[in-house]
Amino acid sequence: MWGSGYRYDESVEQLTAPVVQEAMDGESATFHGAGREDVDALMLESGRPFVIEVDEPRVRDVDTDQLEADVNEFADGKVEVEGLRLATYEMVERVKELEASKTYRMDVAFDAPVAAEALQDALDELTGATIHQETPQRVAHRRADLTRTREVYDATGELVDDRHADIRIHGAGGLYVKELVSSDEGRTEPSLAGLLGVGAEVTALDVVDVEGEDEPFEKAAFLKE
């Protein structure tokens, strides 16, 4: 049986790395992005820091403005890079090791009507909270069953109507934000659903910012998925 070796038909790496590899006449190219997301999450606004590491490049001096344009043309709107420049070894290691905090924007649906005041009270309680999360059921088949603690730095949002809300969460790297909303049948505490006493589900998820937890990350480039 033949296959591509990739879990999905198209990846960010496949839409960017081949252009860089060709421009630098390298043997291979590997994409390293800061943080990782579910396949249904979009990376928007400020973008994600990344590096593309080229093995055995025969060309080291490239026009990064032209390369940026070539990558974006090749990706055909599916991803967009900006601020592209040559990376140092220090940048490569920082991206690989970055414990990035992230800001998410989520569409949330509730099982029952929610009052604006109740939503605000719940978000206020989540702001600054330490969250205890057992490994989510949706990833338990491929990750160790552990209880992790992660911080929520800020939680804001507003109702679209009494059963839907637009929520923003800024949290520590590794925070499972879908479960922060739903509670994952009590495996995440506290949670938005638990504080409201109403079932809640994330129906759309975007990442709007990625940055170092201890200091702003000097981004070698931006990636918009």
Residues marked as catalytic: 38
**How far is it, in rounded angstroms, from Cα 87 to Cα 58?**
16
Nearest CA among 36, 47, 93 for reference residue 222? 47
Which strands make up the sheet holding 100-110, listed edge to edge?
42-43, 200-212, 100-110, 164-171, 147-161, 130-134, 188-189
Question: Which helix or strand (DSSP H or E) is residue 182 part of?
Answer: helix 177-182
Nearest to 14 by CA among 36, 35, 29, 34: 29
Q: Give the Cα separation of 17 and 88 in Å (integer).
A: 17
Q: What is the DSSP letter of 88?
A: P
